Amino acid sequence: DVVMTQTPVSLSVSLGGQVSISCRSSQSLVHNNGNTYLSWYLQKPGQSPQLLIYKVSNRFSGISDRFSGSGSGTDFTLKISRVEPDDLGVYYCGQGTQYPLTFGSGTKLEIK
Partner 1 sequence: EVQLVESGGGLVQPGRSLKLSCLASGFTFSNYGMNWIRQAPGKGLEWVASISSSSSYIYYADTVKGRFTISRDNAKNTLYLQMTSLRSEDTALYYCARQGPGYEDYWGQGVMVTVSS
Distance CA 7, CA 43 (A): 16
CA 41, 10, 85, 83 torsion: positive or negative? negative
State which of residues 18, 35, 70, 72 lies at the interface with partner 1 (CB under 8 A).
35
CA 99, 2, 104, 81 torsion: positive or negative? negative
Number of shown-chain residues binding partner 1 (CB under 8 A): 25
CB closer to partner 1 out of 19 and 39? 39
Q: Which residues bind partner 1 (CB under 8 A)?
A: 31, 35, 37, 39, 41, 48-51, 54-55, 60, 92, 94-97, 99-106
